[in-house]
Structure 1
Amino acid sequence: MTIQQLNNSHSQQIVNLILPIQQIEFNVPITLEKQQDLLDIEKHYIGPGGNFWGVIHDNEVVGTIALIATGHNAGAIRKMFVKKEFRGKELGIAQQLLDELLRYCQQNNITDLYLGTVEILKAAHRFYERNGFQKISKEDLPDYFPFMQPDTIFYHLHMQA
Structure 2
Amino acid sequence: MKKVGMNMLVKALALPLLAVPLLSSCMVENENPENKFNTSSNEPAANYRVIGKVTDVEGDPIAGIRVIADYSTDVVYRADTLYTDRDGQYSKFLTTPRVSSFYMSFDDIDGQANGGEFEPRSERVNPIRTEISSGYFGGSYVVSLNATLKRK
Please give the TM-score of this superposition, normalised by the length of structure 2.
Answer: 0.27
Higher helix share: 1
Which structure: larger Rg? 2
Higher strand share: 2
- Structure number with the bigger relative contact order (C-alpha 8 A, sep ≥ 6) is 2
Please give the TM-score of this superposition, normalised by the length of structure 1.
Answer: 0.26
